Chain A
Amino acid sequence: MSPKTCADHPPIALVDGNCFYVSCERVFDARLDRRAVVVLSNNDGCVVSRSDEAKAAGVAMGEPWFKVRQRLGDQAVTALSSNYTLYGDMSRRMMTVIGQFAPEQSIYSIDECFLRFAGMDRFDLSELAHDLKARVYQWVGIPVCVGIGTSHTLAKLANRLAKKQPQLAGVCDLTGMSRSDRDRYMGSMDVQEVWGIGNRISARLRELGIASVRQLRDADTALIRQRFGVTVERTVRELRGEPCLELEDRPAPKQQIISSRSFGRPIDTLAPLQEAITTYTRIAAGKLRDQAHAAGQIQVWLHTSIFNSQAPQHHPSVAVPLSPATDDTLALVGAARAAVAVLFRRGHRYVKAGVMLNALVPATAVQGDLFPVQGGSIRRSRIADAMDAVTQRFGKRAIQLAGEGLEPAWRMRRDRMTQAYTTRWADLPKARTG
């Protein structure tokens, strides 16, 4: 990597929560510490988060729970259902704290965000990253890893190193490393660990003799472009420290879709806030449909400037359940606008807002909830009327949509869900005074 000063390309950090869903649960239930724990997705009972202990026990990401049980037995691993409301709130807290460490933050998913350290030449980023890690753990209880590089691809690579190499203690700053150290690390990593390089591309790269990240970094860009296209070529340039791939060009994470931006200038009235949220929701809805998913929950949040401590602070957020899950832009926009109207308070200057679509299910398997919370988005067809008549006469289980599937696997399994510890009065954790 040719030496570049901070001014050329400000360092970028990727900060992400370690086994985020499991970590959220551990904050409120100490019995889960140091144990094999998994969190299951609610629509198909597959593992979406696993503790290090569960990983060591051989649980694979995305594995269906019944298979894990078969293989390892009931007692070996504790399974919990997804508590999206809790994770959304903990994510908001975590992201706000992380955002205190750099002038620019882009939230990528529920547990990952990028920071851009523009104009921070004097800072020891490694030390800053350790402070950040300590503060997030102290204030919110979530362990995070930090990877720093001069491009998003490098930041993500550094983050993987931070996780895998214990001597790095959760922080890897490629910009602060000697060239030989960087070469050594990149030489030890398989090309498939690079963001955007999947099975097929890495197999073809290996045929060309490119097996390590270092080899990919040093490959001839013209050849790469010719054989693999411009995106992979840009990935190579990113490995060299040159940021040239936008976050929008990256695939969206599967578990949730986030659309969040800072405003061009602070907003202190409701109407422009509504417009901004409408735009973010529309963008997120488009991505949702691209993925052929429907969302069962939408979370909306606002931020006042964290750098202006004189002004009144307000970082509200609300999670709105969508029943049934929907991919309809109008329904999502309606829910988001209603949410913003509730969050907004006069006298505050908001600088950022965001929308997250959560509880994603495949669009074809939307549960036919016959008494949906929103009246507007379901078109009451004659079929729906007939279903109502059958249900009224014979009971709720008598009839269901064929698209729901006949296997119990489709049923939203929430029997192992914990409480909404931070968002519902009735669910507050208890503390014994004895």
Chain B
Amino acid sequence: MPRTRSEPERRPRGRPHNSGPFGQPTTVMRIPVSVAPVLRAWVDGHKVNHRDLDATPAAVNPPDLHRPLLESRASCGFPSPADDYAEDTLDLNQRFVHNPVATFFMIAEGQSMIEYGIHDGDLLIVDRSVEPRHQSVVVAIVENDRTVKILDIRKDGSVWLMPGNSANKGIQINEDSDIRLWGVVTGVAKDLR
């Protein structure tokens, strides 16, 4: 019989939606008996404890992921006729990192290399595989510290490390000095924000 007067809305009975062991809709499936134990174990791993504050699924959110400086966009959605002609989005790595296995990044500290365009906090691209030449900007280990210097190969053949700031003295490198060249600075990246 149709309702003739307004009734208070019926309270829904039964288990609330998505409150079962999996926290999402389920389906019934026929599987070969031989794979049942493996699948049962796998399915069990998807059970959700509703007291979890964030029930993130098995997709991993690893904090250690490194990303290239400029991430090329993955294509998703429908394939487009343009896909065959699409070029890779431009990646700063291709321009500034020529030998990835030998390239390391460092952060410049201090203002003494301003004349060479290097400011405090700039990202230095340091390549260990490049042969240092006269006037190369290098990272050198001086008294166990990493420093950024200019390599000065003089006419008499002596090799000096010159500071960016002309107020400081240069250091000569000879056989007994405890100085090592760590790598050549091949690029600098600045964040202007």
Given contacts A141-B128, A345-B72, contact A422 B104 (CB under 8 A): yes
A140 touches B102 (CB 8 A): yes
Given contacts A140-B102, A422-B104, A432-B110, contact A346 B75 (CB under 8 A): yes
Which residues 32-71 in B have Cβ within 8 Å of A in the complex? 41-42, 44-49, 51-52, 55-66
Instruction: Tell which of A33, A139, A379, A420 touches B99, judged by Cβ atoms closer than 8 Å.
Output: A139
**Cβ distance A281 to chain B, nearest Cβ, rounded Å:** 13
Instruction: Tell which of A312, A330, A420, A432 touches B146, judged by Cβ atoms closer than 8 Å.
Output: A432
A385 touches B101 (CB 8 A): no
A319 touches B105 (CB 8 A): no
* Chain B residues within 8 Å of A96, by CB: 101
Which residue of chain A has the shortest Cβ distance to B121 in the bound complex?
A430
Per-position 1/0 for A337-366, Cβ under 8 A of B: 011001001110000000000000000000
Given contacts A138-B129, A428-B106, contact A318 B64 (CB under 8 A): yes
Is A380 interfacial (CB 8 A cutoff)? yes
Is A334 interfacial (CB 8 A cutoff)? yes
A207→B61 CA distance, assembly (Å) = 57
Most buried by B among A319, A420, A431: A431
Which residues 72-112 in B have Cβ within 8 Å of A in the complex? 72, 74-75, 88, 94, 99-102, 104-112
* Chain A residues within 8 Å of B66, by CB: 318, 423-424
> Which of A37-45, A169-177, A233-241, A369-377 is the contact stretch?
A369-377
Most buried by A among B55, B64, B120, B124: B64
* Chain B residues within 8 Å of A33, by CB: 144
Per-position 1/0 for A406-434, Cβ under 8 A of B: 00000000000000111110001111111
* Chain B residues within 8 Å of A52, by CB: none
Is A31 interfacial (CB 8 A cutoff)? yes
Per-position 1/0 for A374-396, Cβ under 8 A of B: 11110110001100100000000
Is A313 interfacial (CB 8 A cutoff)? yes
Which residue of chain B has the shortest Cβ distance to A94 in the bound complex?
B101
A334 touches B58 (CB 8 A): yes
* Chain A residues within 8 Å of B123, by CB: 428
Which residue of chain A has the shortest Cβ distance to B50 in the bound complex?
A380
Is A115 interfacial (CB 8 A cutoff)? no
**Cβ distance A270 to chain B, nearest Cβ, rounded Å:** 9
Instruction: Tell which of A315, A321, A345, A347 touches B62, judged by Cβ atoms closer than 8 Å.
Output: A321
Is B153 interfacial (CB 8 A cutoff)? no
* Chain A residues within 8 Å of B75, by CB: 346
Is B118 interfacial (CB 8 A cutoff)? yes
A97→B103 CA distance, assembly (Å) = 12
A315→B108 CA distance, assembly (Å) = 26
A339→B65 CA distance, assembly (Å) = 8
A432→B75 CA distance, assembly (Å) = 42
* Chain B residues within 8 Å of A56, by CB: none
A338 touches B109 (CB 8 A): no
* Chain A residues within 8 Å of B111, by CB: 433
Is B145 interfacial (CB 8 A cutoff)? yes
Instruction: Tell which of A93, A342, A346, A433 touches B118, judged by Cβ atoms closer than 8 Å.
Output: A433
B165 touches A434 (CB 8 A): yes
* Chain B residues within 8 Å of A377, by CB: 45, 58
Given contacts A388-B51, A433-B147, contact A379 B44 (CB under 8 A): yes
Given contacts A375-B56, A385-B51, contact A433 B62 (CB under 8 A): no
* Chain B residues within 8 Å of A31, by CB: 144
A428→B139 CA distance, assembly (Å) = 14
B65 touches A315 (CB 8 A): no
Given contacts A93-B102, A140-B102, contact A430 B62 (CB under 8 A): no
A346→B147 CA distance, assembly (Å) = 39
Most buried by A among B60, B63, B129, B141: B60
B residues neighboring A (CB under 8 Å): 41-42, 44-49, 51-52, 55-66, 72, 74-75, 88, 94, 99-102, 104-113, 118, 120, 123-124, 126, 128-129, 139, 141, 144-148, 163-165, 168, 180
10 smallest A-B Cβ distances: which pairs? Answer: A376-B58, A139-B102, A433-B113, A380-B49, A320-B62, A433-B110, A431-B146, A30-B144, A433-B112, A93-B101
A residues neighboring B (CB under 8 Å): 29-31, 33, 85, 92-93, 96-97, 138-141, 312-313, 315, 318-321, 330-331, 334-335, 338-339, 342, 345-347, 373-377, 379-380, 384-385, 388, 420-424, 428-434
Name 27 interchain pairs, CB-CB below 8 A, sorted by A.
A30-B146, A92-B101, A97-B101, A138-B129, A139-B128, A313-B100, A318-B62, A320-B64, A321-B64, A334-B59, A338-B59, A338-B60, A342-B65, A345-B88, A374-B58, A375-B48, A380-B47, A422-B105, A423-B64, A431-B139, A431-B146, A432-B109, A432-B147, A433-B112, A433-B148, A433-B164, A434-B163
Kindly list 10 other residue pairs between chains A and B, CB separation below 8 angstroms, not including A139-B128, A422-B104, A434-B163: A93-B101, A313-B100, A330-B41, A331-B58, A346-B74, A377-B45, A385-B49, A388-B51, A430-B108, A433-B118
